[in-house]
Amino acid sequence: MLKLTYATFGREPPQGLNEPRYVVVHLGCALFLAVAWAATIVLNAISIPFAGTLIRFIGRPKVEYRFLRLFGQAPIIVLAGVAFAPLAIWRQSQGIWWTVGVVLALWALGIVLLLLVGVWNRAVSK
């Protein structure tokens, strides 16, 4: 726990602490890690579905952003729009058939975009 907390700030943990300081440092580290994990969960709950980005900073001296990809090629953000747009349209729609039509059109667009990304990645990697 001590190494993980100090690694987050790019520092080495202190050595040779006496008993009261040892307890205070460990309590401070436990409090920091609890708050940091809660912040990480909240940030990722927002950033993963809407941007397809994983945010990691605990145990690293700098924040790391990782763009998630489906099957190692298609960015998740492409799917986020296809997944959330029908929900928004349904909430504002004129009727069920309008919603179904838009959902099907967006799914088709999403499939086409995924195929294009896959073809593009294969063409670039050769």
Average pLDDT in the chain: 77
In the chain, DSSP finds a helix count (H) and a strand count (E) of 4, 4
**pLDDT level of residue 23 (50, 70, 90 thresholds):** confident
Provide the CA 57 distance to its chain's centre, in angstroms. 12
| Distance between first and last Cα of the chain | 45
Rounded Cα–Cα distance for residues 33 and 64 (Å): 17
Quick count: other Cβ atoms within 10 Å of Cβ 45?
A: 10
Q: Which residues does residue 67 pair with via DSSP β-bridges, in sequence order?
A: 53
Average pLDDT over residues 89-116: 78
Residue 108 has pLDDT above 80, yes or no: yes
Domain ranges of the chain: 2-67, 70-125
What is the identity of the amino acid at 41?
A: I
Of the two residues 120 and 61, the one the predictor is more confident about is: 120
Residue 11 has pLDDT above 80, yes or no: no
**Among 112, 117, 51, 41, which residue's Cα sits nearest to residue 84?**
51
39-67 confidence digits (pLDDT tens) = 888 888 877 766 777 787 776 767 777 77
Rounded Cα–Cα distance for residues 78 and 68 (Å): 11
Average pLDDT over residues 15-35: 83
**pLDDT level of residue 36 (50, 70, 90 thresholds):** confident
